[in-house]
Structure 1
Amino acid sequence: MFENPTVSVIGLGYVGLPLAVALARHFDVIGFDINRQRVEELRAGHDRTGELSVGELADSKLEYIADESFLSEAHIHIVTVPTPVGPDNKPDLRAVESASRMVGRHLKMGTVVVYESTVYPGVTEDFCGPILEEESGLTSGQDFFLGYSPERINPGDKVHRVDLITKVVAGQTHNASQLLARLYGTMNGNNIFVARDIRTAEASKVIENAQRDINIAFVNEIATIFQKMGISVHDVLEAAGTKWNFLPFTPGLVGGHCIGVDPYYLAHAAQQLNIEPKVILAGRSINDGMAHRIADNIDAQLSGPSKILVLGIAFKENVPDIRNSKVADLIARLAVHGHTVDVFDPMADAAETKHEYDIDLVAEPATGYDAVVGAVAHSAFDQLSLRKLAKPDGLIADIKAIWRQRGVPDGMTYWTL
């Protein structure tokens, strides 16, 4: 369809920026974000997400813009905006709608619009397509074409990068599918799977994360059971893991913008069909309840209101992303129990944390805490001394099993899931 296409990537966050930089090694790429501060930071060589280095940004030919008029130059638009859920855990498609309207205003004949945002089956064709038609006056499947390629970015993972993983693609027509296969294949060495259709590709994404969420919910539930039995779930998982087909998952908090969100998209789609997604929602209920369960366990081991240090507020290790952090729920629950909580996370942005959760991060932890909670396994925490942080008889609540193998100082109480 296009010999040397110009590509626009809309949304330069954890998904869009690495994709845009990878594509810019082979194509002319316009990187668009509505956040002008974000665009200026990237132009200056700073990526606040930490996904790309100063050198990687400097070496890229990617053009960063916040002016939507430049989108009219693109032959292929790739939309990578967030798809969260609202307070009622229903899909929030406002960012996708807004991006679609913007793209539609600059759509031209023959253009392909690809969505990477996680959605339930049908959103690309039944929700986004009509918006593009309305804004452009063009006809989907005739004047312009839709596509879907689910994002598989794993924040903080330097091994499974976007240019090294398999990309699923699907187009509205055979030609559109082949175009997307060539586009993404140029970037990742033709490591491409062409799905049967767009709905299939959309469905593949939501079940990837729903499956993981359910598996984690299972180990969270058995952790609760085995704890009552006086059995270490970690010892059990190590033993069970010797079987060739056992799937390794570990208990803990499930937050972030993917695993803790995407199952609700699939559940919503099921409920629209009058199907009650019992397993999916049971998994969500178990995982969403873990923060309170952990806080209650910690409280039960302390004698009255105590001074507690929580290590980490990000939703996972070695990333600054605090979106949908379940550590925030843990902290709030500890406060309900009457404890004073300091939160230390050198990866997270203090202003963002204050705005999002009304939590003030400490620049440096104090000493003599009654309890230290290992909530996030940042590499930066490896150098911390528990002897300095906790009282000699303090509690070490090791949610992420950071100190499980290395042990804690004599006299301290160790607890993990």
Structure 2
Amino acid sequence: MPRPESLTELHGHADGRRARDLGQCRTSEKIDRLSTPDRFPSRDRAICRLVQRVFGEMMSDTHAIAVIGLGYVGLPLAVEFGKTRPVIGFDVNAGRIDALRKGSDSTLEVSEDELRNAAHLSFTTDPADLAAATIYIVTVPTPIDAYKRPDLTPLLRASETLGMVLKPGDIVIYESTVYPGATEDDCVPVLERESGLTFNDEFFVGYSPERVNPGDKTHRLTDIRKVTSGSTPDVADTVDALYASIVTAGTYKAESIRVAEAAKVIENTQRDLNIALVNELAIIFNKMGIDTEAVLKAAGTKWNFLPFRPGLVGGHCIGVDPYYLTHKAEVIGYHPQVILAGRRINDGMGAYVAGQLVKAMLKRRIQVDGARVLVLGLTFKENCPDLRNTRVVDVVRELQDYGVQVDAHDPWSDAEEARHEYGLDLVQIPQDGVYDGIVLAVAHEEFKAMGAGAMRCFGKADHVLYDLKNVLDVQESDLRL
């Protein structure tokens, strides 16, 4: 594929042209600001010249960007940049790299055509290859451990790897969700130690939090406004211009790296708390015998009522990120109450769902110990193969504790991953007429198309159908959240 003559050539529609032209205007302004280093004191002039060199190389589309971590976040980023400039896509998973080289993305975030069109993108597992880059973007996971404490291991290992190839003038941009201060307090010392270079003298950092929504084909990387930041004002301009070159929705330059880190972590904390509220409401209304969905629809007729729905809260963001913020709060001497209360409610929903199903089965005189239950859906959200931190597994484990034999069926899940991560053997084709309970846990399109009648075919003559996602009409299921 030949290199496009301009950025606007990549986007034929009018909105894309306007957004890209705006990005180019911003870029020109930033180049002008960086073009007069003599107005700074001597030390700052040296810094400015380093940033100016890197900035010029970066915007010339001739020097490489390296993306570290090629999952749901990193791969779309590498592909988008790889349309117009050299990009080194790095991942420690050799199987992942082999598949991408063959044009296959198991996350389904990027199509074969999109991979093919990223003509300047190469893939590697060799850290030495990263030395060819001047800009490094880190998109590795930031999970929690068994005690719900932040686990920065992937982030710090990525920083160690980059520290060994870092050169004067290089910029490292982090996208992984962290608590405020992690980039400068935890990652930068690793970069300094491994590289022997001095932060903000010889290398620089930025932070631009990812906002990927796995499985969402409407809100994709280029369609979501990007928050950016840098360790100096000029680096902040550089980072902002870099993302403005690919994000048609525009960018927002935060006042500091800590502000950008905090903004990201509260995005998901706010959503977690809103879901916790409706989960608690669902528990209350269920005790009252009131249909929660009916209540939410009625309340939703007011213009400022937020349309959240009850459910299991999993995935790599919402069920994890609040613990990063609460950890940092406790480190500085404050014990959060509201945030952790919301987490307790959401973390307890798997047990609540299992308990409701067991009660309904007992009311029908169905023997629970030894009963068979089919769970439809295992991924953490609909129409997406992502199994990370899925809370459907909480329902499975709770039912197993009651002595129930649980089968899980999910057309989107990778069977090997489900076995490796959760010890579950997925059922490819559930048997008809053998289940005492059926739980619709994930609203995949396949299950919506199936309908209540086909779902009930899996059940015995007397069974309980529990619709967690309100996919079915209220009269079509026996229980719903």
TM range, normalised to the smaller chain?
A: over 0.9
Q: Is the 8 A contact 2:68 2:139 kept in 1?
A: yes
Match of 2:458 in 1: 389
Aligned to 1:415: 479
1:54 match: 112
How many pairs are equivalent? Answer: 412
Q: 2:439 aligns with which of 348, 360, 373?
A: 373
Partner of 2:283: 224
User: Any idea what the Cα deviations from partners look like across 1:29-68, whole Å, max 9, x if unmatched?
Assistant: 1110011110000000111111111111122121111111
User: 1:267 maps to which residue?
Assistant: 326
From 86, 94, 103, the counterpart of 1:28: 86
Q: Is 1:9 matched up with 2:67?
A: yes
Supply the distance in 1 between the matched residues of 2:428 and 2:455 (Cα, whole angstroms). Answer: 17
Aligned counterpart, 1:329: 394
Paired residues for 1:157-168 under 5 Å: 157-168=216-227
Corresponding position of 2:156: 97
What do the CA deviations read for 1:226-283 (whole angstroms, capped 9, x no partner)?
1111111111111111111111100000011110000000000100111011011001
Between the aligned partners of 2:414 and 2:249, the Cα distance in structure 1 is: 37
In 2, the alpha carbon distance for the partners of 1:353 and 1:21 equals 27
Q: Which of these residues, 123, 127, 134, is aligned with residue 64 of structure 1?
A: 123
Shift of 1:327: 0.8
Helix, strand or coil for the counterpart of 2:478? strand
TM-score (norm. length: structure 1): 0.97
Question: How do 1:301-340 residues align onto structure 2 when only pairs under 5 Å count?
Answer: 301-302=360-361, 303-305=366-368, 306-340=371-405
Secondary structure at 1:163's aligned position in 2? helix
2:303 to 221, 238, 244: 244
Query: Higher mean Cα deviation, 349-358 or 391-400?
Result: 391-400
Amino acid in structure 2 at the alignment position of 1:316: K
Alignment-mate amino acid for residue 47 of structure 1: D
Name the CA distance, whole Å, in 1 between partners of 2:215 and 2:473: 23
What pairs with 1:117-196 in structure 2 (closer than 5 Å)?
A: 117-189=176-248, 191-196=250-255
Q: Which moved more, 1:258-267 or 1:352-361?
A: 352-361
**Which of residues 263, 266, 269 in structure 2 aligns to 1:207?**
266
* C-alpha RMSD of the superposition: 1.2
Instruction: Report the residue type matching 1:376 in the other structure.
Output: V
Residue 370 of structure 1 aligns to a residue whose secondary structure is: strand
Q: CA deviation at 1:383?
A: 3.5
Deviation at 1:103? Answer: 0.4
In 1: Cα distance, 2:333 partner to 2:277 partner = 25
The aligned residue for residue 18 of structure 2 is none
Q: Which amino acid aligns with 2:270?
A: Q
Aligned partners of 1:312, 1:401: CA distance in 2, in Å? Answer: 14
- Residues 223 and 105 (structure 1), Cα distance of their counterparts in 2 relative to 1, 3 Å cut: same
Structure 2: runs of 5+ lacking an equivalent: 1-54
Identity rate of aligned residues, in percent? 51
Distance in 2, Cα, partners of 1:198 & 1:182: 16
SS of equivalent to 1:308 = strand
Cα distance between partner residues in 2 of 1:129 and 1:404: 53
Once the two structures are TM-superposed, the CA of residue 309 in structure 1 deviates from its matched residue by 0.7
1:392 is displaced (CA, Å) by 4.1
Code of the residue aligned with 1:350 in structure 2: it is A
Match of 2:383, SS? coil
Kept in 2: contact 1:253–1:287 (CA 8 A): yes
Give distance in 1, aligned partners of 2:249 and 2:420.
42
**2:456–2:465 contact (8 Å) kept in structure 1:** no
CA distance in 1 between partners of 2:192 and 2:124 (Å): 24
Greater mean deviation of Cα atoms: 31-40 or 379-388: 379-388
Q: Tell me the residue number matched to 1:45.
A: 103
Shift of 1:190: 6.4
Name the counterpart of 2:407: 342
| SS at 1:188 equivalent | coil
Aligned to 2:65, the other structure's residue is in SS state strand
Name the stretch that deviates more: 363-372 or 382-391: 382-391
Give the partner amino acid of 1:8: A
Shift of 1:388: 2.1
Residue type of the partner of 1:372?
A: I
When Rg is computed on C-alpha atoms for both structures, the one with the higher figure is: 2
Aligned partners of 1:190 and 1:334: how far apart in 2?
A: 45
Segments of structure 1 that go 5 or more residues without pairing to the other structure are none
Tell me the distance in 1 between the aligned counterparts of 2:249 and 2:385.
32
- The TM-score normalised by the length of structure 2 is 0.84
Q: Secondary structure at the match of 1:103?
A: helix
Provide, for residues 131-183 of structure 1, a one-character-per-residue CA deviation record: whole Å limited to 9, x for no partner.
10111110111101010000000000011101111000000011111111111
Q: Give distance in 2, aligned partners of 1:60 and 1:27.
A: 9
Q: In the aligned structure 1, how far is the partner of 2:249 from the partner of 2:408?
A: 45
